[in-house]
Chain A
């Protein structure tokens, strides 16, 4: 293990180099462009055995990934925002065909208005497409998550595509200290890709992507339902094993000073780093503040969240995207649904759209307002000008 200074993009590209996938099909888009650029240089310098397809759009990137994955090849891509949205049509095809494609996704606000900065609207927009979604708080987690994603996605119990996300610019372009494993260690860790079939096996021809009408479509969606359920156990096993091997265990979420908390927030991604500081400062003043940092959004660990928050009376859910559904953001609606049988007061803060900064003072104010949660609106917009 070596300690390096790397940005989120650099470290995702580094993980890709070490995984050395058979095929990478990708198209540049801010702020994920560097992932593609750096990887293209690895290809140009002969550092990987990957067949790299510099496609003409993200739609073709995901289409080529699907095609490549039907051969049993290990396939990766990277994108962000509009690029991810351009892939939307093909994402549920990848999951329905049970193709464990790995995507490095850098969270960025969806247009419009056009914006290049972080929010989670792009990733949340495809939350129901049968992809596993793993969020990262920093570059180290991004690296660790990409490596684990290969093991999780390719597990025979899962066989579902998986996206690992960082937050645009906040993580993607921020240089941090990252512990990187040796190439050989990663090679052994990810192992050889196995596949139940290959379209290149001309002696055993398979038909992939058949027309499925009212008599079978529903039945063919059920394995995805089951695989997403089964992925829960696999994520826990892989996270625990990763901890044993490399000293950094992972679960669905991290509890930060949560066990005795009277006031808690639930958040995803880079905001959790800021929230730790706010919580520490509040704790110094004797306020029992805590956090549930959600790492895995798909599959959604509803029972475990409800259990972890069962003793917290006042909870604020921080959403870096809005559902425009007149009842709060996606994390809020799902956590609140998971907490349906509990008596906690749960309110929502939608924040940080289009990269609007969130700071320690604002998070402390959220905790302050949680003190009178009964008087707060159900859905609040944090850091927006009136």
Chain B
């Protein structure tokens, strides 16, 4: 992995002064991913927090070429750019090596952009798609998504007198991408920055379609103090709520195995969105959540052991 000294000399894709919330996790993701590339990058972003906070006309925080098209089509849009790059390269109209990266939130990736992502990955374009998964539609005010964890309070599946937030477990998009048999799939978290950068480096070094699912704690939607973002990202991994792993040509490798798996309640209790789970009559639900996390972790360990 490139050392901090090297990284500090790389081009920062974002200028200061963008309008992401204080303590927001995605500027870290964007910076770490783009700075992991030794070659220039062309960035596409889905509609969402990232696009909205970095490109309010007449300002742009981007120092790289940047394209935003619509909400659900970042992967398709980038696939068009990558295809044009191939055509223009053949004609000698471009010569530089360029890496292509798309960023989308979980709404634009798990839900409305799912088809576009799946299509682009199946077609095998040479690009990296990075989902900054903050577990809900944060840009429009914390609406539930396919990535929202069971029990989380959102504005479209809120906790109330008879309901306890989201009723379904989250969609496992990383595994769905693995099922596309991509050369490289990884799950990372902003809290573990070296792990994240190393994975992005690996992705850029791998030809073909790559996918990274990066957990992005959202201080607004998860409701915790803004200084806690990295701690929250680490807690997600340390509790195995969000395991850190990579799958290289089908081979699983868990990149963080907590020496002592922390109980999930530590992650839940740190965030307002789970507050209702700590009512006495929700003890059973908390147990179920822990059980699900344990089961998914065990499955992952088994997949790694098999490799």
Q: List the interface of chain A (C-beta within 8 A of B).
A: 22-23, 25, 49-51, 53-57, 59-61, 63-73, 75, 89-90, 93, 198-202, 205-213, 216, 220
Cα separation A63 to B82 with both chains bound (whole Å): 13
Highest count of chain B CB atoms <10 Å: which of A54, A70, A90 = A70
Measured between beta carbons, the chain B residues less than 8 angstroms from A53 are 79-80, 83, 123
- Sample 23 A-B pairs with CB under 8 A, ordered by A number: A22-B87, A49-B90, A53-B80, A56-B119, A57-B116, A60-B116, A63-B73, A63-B76, A63-B116, A67-B76, A67-B78, A70-B67, A71-B84, A198-B94, A199-B67, A200-B94, A200-B98, A202-B41, A207-B66, A211-B55, A211-B56, A213-B56, A216-B58
* Interface positions of B from 67 to 104, Cβ below 8 Å from A: 67-70, 72-73, 75-81, 83-88, 90-91, 94, 96, 98
Measured between beta carbons, the chain A residues less than 8 angstroms from B88 are 22, 71-73, 200
B83 touches A59 (CB 8 A): no
Q: Ordered nearest first, which 6 A-B pairs have the shortest CB separation?
A: A67-B80, A56-B119, A64-B80, A209-B68, A63-B73, A68-B80
A22 touches B64 (CB 8 A): no
Q: Known pairs A53-B80, A68-B84, A211-B56. 7 more at Cβ < 8 A?
A: A51-B87, A56-B118, A61-B76, A66-B69, A67-B69, A200-B84, A209-B51
Measured between beta carbons, the chain A residues less than 8 angstroms from B77 are 63-64, 66-67
Measured between beta carbons, the chain A residues less than 8 angstroms from B51 are 209, 211
CB distance from A234 to the nearest CB of B (A): 25
CB distance from A260 to the nearest CB of B (A): 52
Measured between beta carbons, the chain A residues less than 8 angstroms from B280 are none
B64 touches A60 (CB 8 A): no
Measured between beta carbons, the chain A residues less than 8 angstroms from B68 are 208-211
A56 touches B122 (CB 8 A): yes
| B40 sits at the interface (CB 8 A) | yes
Cα separation A207 to B94 with both chains bound (whole Å): 19
CB distance from A202 to the nearest CB of B (A): 4
A205: which of B66, B87, B118 is its contact (CB, 8 Å)? B66
A200 touches B56 (CB 8 A): no
Measured between beta carbons, the chain B residues less than 8 angstroms from A207 are 55, 60, 62, 65-66
Measured between beta carbons, the chain A residues less than 8 angstroms from B69 are 63, 66-67, 90, 93, 209
Known: A67-B79, A207-B66, A210-B55. A60 touches B119 (CB 8 A): yes
A55 touches B119 (CB 8 A): yes
Measured between beta carbons, the chain A residues less than 8 angstroms from B72 are 59
Cα separation A213 to B19 with both chains bound (whole Å): 15
* Chain A residue nearest in CB terms to B90: A49
Highest count of chain A CB atoms <10 Å: which of B51, B81, B98 = B81
A64 touches B83 (CB 8 A): yes
Measured between beta carbons, the chain A residues less than 8 angstroms from B67 are 67, 70, 199, 208-209
Measured between beta carbons, the chain B residues less than 8 angstroms from A201 are 65
Highest count of chain B CB atoms <10 Å: which of A61, A64, A200 = A64
| B156 sits at the interface (CB 8 A) | no
Highest count of chain A CB atoms <10 Å: which of B87, B94, B96, B118 = B87
Measured between beta carbons, the chain A residues less than 8 angstroms from B83 are 23, 25, 51, 53, 64, 68
Known: A59-B73, A211-B56, A213-B56. A67 touches B84 (CB 8 A): yes
Measured between beta carbons, the chain B residues less than 8 angstroms from A63 are 69-70, 73, 76-77, 80, 116
CB distance from A50 to the nearest CB of B (A): 7
Measured between beta carbons, the chain B residues less than 8 angstroms from A50 are 87
| B42 sits at the interface (CB 8 A) | yes
B76 touches A199 (CB 8 A): no
CB distance from B182 to the nearest CB of A (A): 16
| B52 sits at the interface (CB 8 A) | yes
Cα separation A54 to B124 with both chains bound (whole Å): 11
* Chain B residue nearest in CB terms to A53: B83
* Interface positions of B from 116 to 149, Cβ below 8 Å from A: 116, 118-120, 122-123
